[in-house]
């Protein structure tokens, strides 16, 4: 709830502080503007429709840079305003509590479906485990095959090496025989 | 105590402006105020010219009313004229308003009230003058405007069956009173606040 302004101007009255582009009329004049103006032009109080009863001491306090003490009426009005704010918040809290309770109730009503979902999850987990097992088996088989092939390659390499040596020996023997025949 | 003897002598040259010549006519929006709604104690005029009203306030909870007349020549017939008197000549000021409506609300809230009340009328001159002080002129501030003629002619081409209203202020000492405070922007803001009116909290 907006606070009631301390100062309101009469219809037709305009406060235009010098050196600014601001105009104040009716109820849109802040306290500091009103009191600074009245500090310079106290006779202009007749332009105000409402003002605090202690406006003169407020004006003096503002001139001296002091903050004027709030009056009992102002404090009461502020307490009333804060009570209104608290009441509004209470209503809001109550509304949110109802919403939370409703959401909880809905969640509980929907809990029966969790069993089917859990079963499905378990099935999927078992499928995943089987698939992983299959994959591991395939990996092992592939590994064994690779090893066997590698072994074959090694054997073939050894055979090639042996045959190469035999060929070299045969070539040497043939060369010796040829040389002897030429003698 | 010395007596105040009025000394009526010219105090200014008489010539029109070549760069800012006089223009005839009024703008389409005027403002009517009930005479008794004015805060007379707060009325203030310019120190250097009593024909300029700087402060025109209303009593608590009161407001001014806009009068809008469409067309190229609104408020036709609005004028001020000399009225010779025995000891002093004064002015008769006439405000002509057309009310383009004649329903029950208008009859009750406007016509019946205009017929018997006293009013102040503020209108906007097309000619603002060099310093814009000519802009808003006031009739009825000294003696009040009262109705002298009100006609609702059903086949009137001018009013289309609405009301033609003539309000007159007689015996006004000044030829012209103008509303102006500091600047034209401030003056317009003041007029707007007159139309809005206060909330009547005092």
B60–A10 CB contact, under 8 Å: yes
| Neighboring chain B residues of A9 at a CB cutoff of 8 Å | 193, 198
β-bridge pairing B119-125 and B26-34: antiparallel
pLDDT per 10-residue tile (average), chain B, 202 residues: 79 83 91 97 94 96 95 94 91 95 92 96 94 96 97 89 95 96 94 88 48
Q: How far is B51 from chain A (nearest CA, A)?
A: 18
Residues 47-76 of B with CB under 8 A from A: 55-60, 62-64
Are A49 and B41 within 8 A, CB to CB?
no
In this prediction, residue B25 carries a pLDDT of 93
Place of tokens 């040259």: B13
The parent domain of residue B101 ranges over 29-196
pLDDT band at A113 (very low <50, low <70, confident <90, very high): low
Is A25 in Cβ contact with B197 (below 8 Å)? no
pLDDT of residue B202: 44
Parallel/antiparallel/unpaired status of strands B146-151 and B90-99: unpaired
Q: What is the rounded average pLDDT of the residues A146-161?
A: 81
pLDDT of A3 > 70? The answer is no
Q: pLDDT of A7-44, one tens digit each?
A: 999 999 999 998 888 899 999 999 999 999 999 999 99
Q: What is the pLDDT of residue B159?
A: 87
- Find chain A residues with C-beta within 8 A of B55's C-beta: 12-13, 47
Torsion of CA B96, B99, B100, B101, to 10 degrees: -160
Nearest CB partner across the interface for A8, out of B185, B191, B201: B201
Give residue B152's pLDDT. 94
* Nearest chain B alpha carbon to A4: B201
- Please name the residue that has the structure tokens 């429709």: A49
Question: Has residue B73 been placed in a domain?
Answer: yes
Per-residue pLDDT for A132 more than 90? no
Residue A47 C-alpha, separation from nearest chain B C-alpha, in angstroms: 7
Average pLDDT, chain A: 83
> Is residue B3 a part of any domain in this protein?
no
The ipTM, to two decimals, is 0.83
Question: Which band of pLDDT confidence, cut at 50, 70 and 90, is reported for residue A131?
Answer: confident
Q: B35 exposed, middle or buried (CB, 10 Å; 0-12, 13-18, 19+)?
A: middle
Which pLDDT value is given to residue A1? 46
**Residue-level pLDDT at A178:** 86
Cβ of B190 within 8 Å of Cβ of A14? The answer is yes
In total, the C-beta contacts within 8 angstroms joining chain A to chain B are 71
Residue B188 lies in a domain: yes
Is B157 inside any structural domain? yes
B14 in any annotated domain = no
Number of domains in chain B: 1
CA torsion sign for B50, B51, B55, B58 is positive
B202 contacts on A by Cβ (under 8 Å): 49-50
Which residues of chain B neighbour A27 with C-beta distances below 8 Å? 198-199
List of chain A residues whose C-beta atoms are within 8 Å of the C-beta of residue B56: 12
Is residue B1 assigned to a domain? Answer: no
Provide the terminal-to-terminal Cα distance of chain A, rounded to the nearest Å: 133
| Higher-pLDDT residue of A142, B186 | B186
Cβ contact B39–A10 (<8 Å): yes
Tens digits of residue pLDDT in A67-83: 655 566 666 776 787 77
Best residue in B66, B181, B189, B191 for a mutation probing chain A (most A CBs within 10 Å): B189
Residue B48 in any domain: the answer is yes
Is B5 inside a domain boundary?
no
Instruction: Compare A108 and A111 and report the one with higher pLDDT.
Output: A108
Residues B138/B50, Cβ–Cβ less than 8 Å? no
SS3 for A80? helix
Q: Does B118 touch chain A (CB under 8 A)?
A: no
| CA separation for the pair B90, B80 (Å, rounded) | 10
Whether A8 sits inside 8 A of B196 (CB atoms) is no
Mark yes or no for CB contact A46/B185 under 8 Å.
no
């Amino acid at each position: 709830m907006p606070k009631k302004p301390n100062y309101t101007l009469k219809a037709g009255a305009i406060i235009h502080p010098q050196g600014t582009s601001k105009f104040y009329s009716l109820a849109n004049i802040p306290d500091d503007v009103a009191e600074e103006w009245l500090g310079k032009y106290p006779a202009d109080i007749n332009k105000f429709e409402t003002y605090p009863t202690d406006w003169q001491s407020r004006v003096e306090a503002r001139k001296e840079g002091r903050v004027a003490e709030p009056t009992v009426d102002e404090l009461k009005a502020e307490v009333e305003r804060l009570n209104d704010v608290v009441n509004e918040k209470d209503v809001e809290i109550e509304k949110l509590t109802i919403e939370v309770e409703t959401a909880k109730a809905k969640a509980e009503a929907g809990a029966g479906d969790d069993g089917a979902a859990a079963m499905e999850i378990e099935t999927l987990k078992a499928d995943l485990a089987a698939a992983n097992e299959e994959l591991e088996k395939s990996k092992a088989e592939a590994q064994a095959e690779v090893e066997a092939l590698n072994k074959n390659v090694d054997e073939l390499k050894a055979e090639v090496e042996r045959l190469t040596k035999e060929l070299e020996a045969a070539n040497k023997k043939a060369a010796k025989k040829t040389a002897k025949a030429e003698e | 105590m010395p007596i105040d003897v009025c000394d009526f002598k010219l105090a200014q040259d008489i010539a029109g402006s070549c760069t800012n010549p006089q223009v005839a006519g009024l703008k389409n929006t005027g403002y009517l105020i009930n005479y008794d709604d004015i805060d007379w104690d707060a009325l203030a005029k310019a120190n250097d010219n009593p024909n300029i009203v700087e402060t025109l306030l209303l009593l608590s909870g009161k407001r001014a009313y806009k009068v809008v007349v469409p067309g190229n020549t609104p408020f036709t017939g609005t004028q001020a004229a000399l009225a010779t008197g025995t000891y002093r000549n004064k002015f008769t000021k006439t405000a002509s308003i057309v009310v383009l409506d004649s329903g029950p609300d208008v009859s009750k809230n406007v016509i019946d009230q205009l017929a018997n009340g006293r009013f102040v009328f503020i209108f906007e001159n097309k000619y603002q003058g060099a310093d814009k002080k000519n802009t808003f002129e006031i009739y009825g501030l000294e003696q009040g405007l009262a109705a002298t003629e009100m006609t609702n002619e059903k086949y009137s081409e001018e009013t289309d069956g609405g009301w033609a209203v003539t309000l007159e202020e007689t015996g006004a000492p000044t030829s012209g009173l103008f509303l102006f405070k500091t600047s034209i922007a401030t003056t317009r803001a003041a007029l707007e606040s007159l139309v809005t009116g206060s909330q009547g909290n005092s």
